[in-house]
Each structure stands twice: as structure tokens, then as C-alpha cells.
Chain A
Amino acid sequence: AQKITQTQPGMFVQEKEAVTLDCTYDTSDPSYGLFWYKQPSSGEMIFLIYQGSYDQQNATEGRYSLNFQKARKSANLVISASQLGDSAMYFCAMREGHNTDKLIFGTGTRLQVFP
């Protein structure tokens, strides 16, 4: 069974607008962590934001915030004030349990920002 699901293969957003990228996950372990990465066309993976399962507050990092809805098992990434440089692939990943560093990745969402 797929553990991380990103249902949006592609998204478009106009510059300066906000956009939400969806991520749902499946786990029975009460301890887990959720990560978002950005992959530009050059290929490197850039860490954006982290949310732990026990974190009370939704994570924020600059223009990135995570809409964490534990009961729905969703961890959507919100990018505010989109910039042309935000055009890239975005991957959601989960670390399951507290004794492992292994990540499970979703299939990604390609975001295109237009002027």
C-alpha cells in the first residue's frame, strides 16, 4: 500500500499568489515525521520544512507553511507569495517510527509559476 500520496501531478499558480500542494500519508505508528523537498530542474533535492507527529503547531519556514491535519492524515504544503523561482518538483516524504531514518517519498507535484 502506498504510504505517501501526492494526487496532483501538476499545478499552476500565478506569481505572488499562494498555492497548496497536497500530501496524504498512511501509518499506524504514532511517531512519525513529515518532510517536504523541492527539486529544481537541475536535480538536487532541497529541504523545505519538517513536521513531527507530536508537534502541536503547524510548521512554518519563511514563505513555506505546513497545513498538518493529523486526523485526516494530511500534510499539505502552502507556499505564499509565489515566485518564478518556485517552479520545480515538490516531494512529500515520511519517516515512520522513531528508530529509523528511512524516508518514504511520494511521486511529487510539478509546480509551475507564471508571471
Chain B
Amino acid sequence: DGGITQSPKYLFRKEGQNVTLSCEQNLNHDAMYWYRQDPGQGLRLIYYSQIVNDFQKGDIAEGYSVSREKKESFPLTVTSAQKNPTAFYLCASNWAAVGNQPQHFGDGTRLSIL
């Protein structure tokens, strides 16, 4: 079955540590996205990529980094510069520049500080 796989489901970060969240899709989608969701809030865009080896900052990119070396993979690194990383992180994908195509989401990763 095609879909988006995020791992791990739960992640704990120590102070000063970088952690990487995995996102893999087998839908052959061009575009991929990372969102952050805080309790009782909507989703805020961190980074997005419409093509391999290219990505753009979203609204809250500070303290995060990404790479897009393969079409199916878009890992997100939460760096030690992100002072408040506790949140629910969602990865999404769709075909780029096809207006009525919805973004498909993974099941998310919950990140907490130890």
C-alpha cells in the first residue's frame, strides 16, 4: 500500500542534542512538507520541498534543518537551537503544482524534552 511513513512515533531529546525525524513516502509525490502542531493549535509549516535537492523555509524554520537527497525521503533535524521543541510533527506530501490535490499526511512523531 502507498503511504507516508514517519518514524519514530515517539522521540525524546536531551538538552543540547540534535535529533532527526524520518519521513518516507512511496506515493511518487514531488512535494514534501514538515509541519509542527502544538496542543490546541493548527499546523504551522516548518520546511517544504518541491523537488529533489531543493527546499524552502516555511513560517517557523528557525532551529530546524532538512535535506532532500531522494524523492521519497525528507528528514527533519531538530537542532539544539530550537529551544522549545516539544510538539507533534507531521510530514506530508503531494504532487507539486496540482491545485486540487490534497496533501497526504503521515501518522506523526511526538517529540518531548527529557
In this complex, the interface size class of chain B, counting residues with CB under 8 Å from chain A, is 20 to 34
Contacts of B73-114 to chain A: CB distance below 8 A: 88, 90, 92, 94, 96-97, 99-100, 102-108, 110
Return the contact of B42 from the options A46, A47, A102, A105 (Cβ within 8 A).
Answer: A105
Are A107 and B45 in contact (CB-based, < 8 A)?
no
Report Cα–Cα, A106/B92, bound state, in Å: 17
Q: Within 8 Å CB of B48, what residues of A?
A: 101-102
Are A35 and B107 in contact (CB-based, < 8 A)?
no
Return the contact of A47 from the options B31, B40, B102, B107 (Cβ within 8 A).
Answer: B102
In this complex, the interface size class of chain A, counting residues with CB under 8 Å from chain B, is 20 to 34
Report Cα–Cα, A107/B39, bound state, in Å: 10
Which chain B residue has the least Cβ–Cβ distance from A92? B42
Please judge, given known A-B contacts A43-B108, A44-B107, whether A103 and B88 are in contact too, CB under 8 Å: no
Report Cα–Cα, A82/B96, bound state, in Å: 34
Are B96 and A102 in contact (CB-based, < 8 A)?
no
Where the two chains meet, the residues of A that have a C-beta atom closer than 8 Å to any C-beta of B are 4, 31, 33, 35, 37, 42-47, 50, 52, 91, 93, 95, 98-99, 101-103, 105-108
Where the two chains meet, the residues of B that have a C-beta atom closer than 8 Å to any C-beta of A are 31, 33, 40-45, 48, 50, 58, 88, 90, 92, 94, 96-97, 99-100, 102-108, 110
